[in-house]
Amino acid sequence: MGQKTLWLCRSLLILVILLNLFTVFGFSAEDASASTDTSRGISNILAAVLYPDFESLDADAQEAVMIRADSIVRTLAHCVIFLPMAFAGTLLLFSFSLRQIWVAPLFSLLFSLLFALLDEVHQMFVPGRAFQFTDLLYDGIGMLFGCGAGLLIYLLYKKRKTD
C-alpha cells in the first residue's frame, strides 16, 4: 500500500472514530425525555414491523409491545453505537504494522471502553439520566464485535497479500 493510500485510509478511519465519538456524546447529552422520544420513534417502527396488527391492539397491549420494543432498541443501540469506533480503531492501529497481532484489538477495545466509561459518567450530569453498568456491558459487546471484525478484515488482507 502506497504512502498516499495509507494516509488516506488512516484519515478516513480517524474520521469514523471522531464522528462516532460525537454521535455517542450527542445521544448522551439528550435529557431523559429527549432520549425516550428518540428511542420511542425507532420503537414505533419496530413495533409496526414485529406486530402487523399493532394498531388494532388495545391501549394496554400497545404499551406492553412498546415497552418490549423500547428495551430491544435501547439494548441494540448500545451494542451498535460503539461497534464502528472499535472497528475503525482496530484497523487504524493495524495500519502501523504492530509486531503482536493482539495489540491493535486490545488497545482499540481499551480506548473504546474508556470513552464508554466517560460517556456514562457524563450522563450522571444530564437531567434524568444516570450511570448504568448494564449500558457499559452492552457497549462492550458491540466493541468486541467491532474489534473482531477489524481483526478478521486485517487477517483476510494479510492472507490475500501473501497469496
Question: What single DSSP character describes residue 82?
Answer: T
Task: Please provide residue 19's backbone torsions phi and psi, each rounded to the nearest 5 degrees.
Answer: -60, -40
d(CA 150, CA 102): 11
Q: Which three cell numbers stand for residue 130?
A: 444516570
What is residue 152's predicted lDDT score, i.e. its pLDDT?
Answer: 97
> Among candidates 6, 87, 74, 5, which has minimal Cα distance to 43?
74
Q: Residue ranges of the domains in the chain?
A: 3-162
d(CA 30, CA 34): 6
What is residue 64's predicted lDDT score, i.e. its pLDDT?
Answer: 87
By CB atoms closer than 10 A (0-12, 13-18, 19+), residue 139 is buried
What is residue 89's predicted lDDT score, i.e. its pLDDT?
Answer: 97
Determine the residue type at 161.
K
Q: What is the pLDDT of residues 109-127, one digit of tens each?
A: 999 999 999 999 999 999 9
Q: Which residues contact 83 (CB under 8 A, 6 or more apart)?
A: 142, 143, 145, 146, 149
d(CA 115, CA 131): 13
What is residue 54's predicted lDDT score, i.e. its pLDDT?
Answer: 82
* Mean pLDDT, range 116-144, rounded to an integer: 96
Q: What is the pLDDT of residues 10-68, one digit of tens each?
A: 999 999 999 999 999 999 999 999 998 888 888 888 888 888 888 888 889 888 888 88
* Mean pLDDT, range 85-105, rounded to an integer: 94
Using pLDDT thresholds of 50, 70 and 90, give the confidence band for residue 91: very high
> Among candidates 19, 68, 22, which has minimal Cα distance to 44?
68
What is residue 49's predicted lDDT score, i.e. its pLDDT?
Answer: 84
What is residue 18's predicted lDDT score, i.e. its pLDDT?
Answer: 97
Using pLDDT thresholds of 50, 70 and 90, give the confidence band for residue 81: very high
pLDDT at residue 1 above 80? no
Range list of H helices, 82-102: 83-94
E strands, the chain, in order: none
Q: Which three cell numbers stand for residue 10?
A: 488512516
Question: What single DSSP character describes residue 99?
Answer: S
> Among candidates 103, 90, 89, 98, which has minimal Cα distance to 20?
89
